[in-house]
Amino acid sequence: MERLDDDGEHRGLIVIAPHGGDIERHTDEQAECVASRLGGFGVSSWRCKGWKERREDGSGGALECWHTTSTEIDPSSFPGLGSVIDRGFAHALAFHGFDESEILVGGTAPAALKEEIRCAIEAATGGSGICVRVATPDDQFGGDDPCNVVNRLTADSAGGIQIEQSLPARRDHGTAIAQAVATVYAHKLHPQRPSWQETISDLAEWVRNAARRAVDWGSRRLR
């Protein structure tokens, strides 16, 4: 099941959960939390959710059936994703779950942004003992392949952030992690409509420029 929230033109941030539902539990809730927290910026959001009963031997669950690796997700199979894949967002953020015991911040985004997000998550999960680290090029789940859907969504495939999380991290701290990451992006995005403070400062600048032009004009006439 595919879900897209998009106004058809926003280019700041898209937040995604390619393996929502039972595939990587709580990741879709995290993506929805960030999107609603940053709703004033017009942020886009894409989630793909899968559910499947396991067989009695425990096999055949959602993860086994519906998990497509992030580098192999084909936008032509997902009309919603297909409609935004070439938008060239400045930022894309993906929530994932894995079986390791840590939280890994990866993707093709600049190192400084990854470190900022790592610090925010570390503060949000403080006291839990969960290790939060930035992926190295050797990490299998580092999400630094330009073909990874989170990177493909960004301009020049250079703005993706992929967050891989253990189940306890998602289950016990999912919302706190999402809120912390949303706060990082809130400082990087522009509001959909200029706030009244910006409108007033634009107006003040216009008045200053107009006054300067009038003075220039007056001094030319006096010469």
Q: What is the DSSP code (8-state) at residue 100?
A: S
Interface stretch with Zn ion, choices 6-14, 16-24, 58-66, 194-202 (CB under 5 A): 16-24
Contact (Cβ atoms closer than 8 angstroms) between residue 165 and residue 96:
yes
Contact (Cβ atoms closer than 8 angstroms) between residue 43 and residue 186:
no
Interface stretch with Zn ion, choices 21-29, 51-59, 181-189, 214-222 (CB under 5 A): 21-29
The number of residues that bind Zn ion (CB under 5 A) is 3
Q: Which of residues 93-112 bind Zn ion (CB under 5 A)?
A: 96
Q: Which residues contact 168 (CB under 8 A, 6 or more apart)?
A: 101, 128, 130
Beta bridge partners of 91: 13
Q: Which of residues 58-97 bind Zn ion (CB under 5 A)?
A: 96
Q: Look-up: residue for tokens 């099941």? A: 1
Q: Compare residues 10 and 92 and give the one whose CB is closer to Zn ion.
A: 92
Interface stretch with Zn ion, choices 23-31, 125-133, 188-196, 210-218 (CB under 5 A): 23-31
| One residue of 10, 19, 37, 118 binding Zn ion per CB under 5 A | 19
To Zn ion, the closest distance from the beta carbon of 21 in angstroms equals 11
* Alpha-carbon span 197 to 130, nearest angstrom: 40
Looking only at Cα atoms, what is the longest distance across the chain?
95
Q: Give contact residues for Zn ion (rule: CB under 5 A).
A: 19, 24, 96
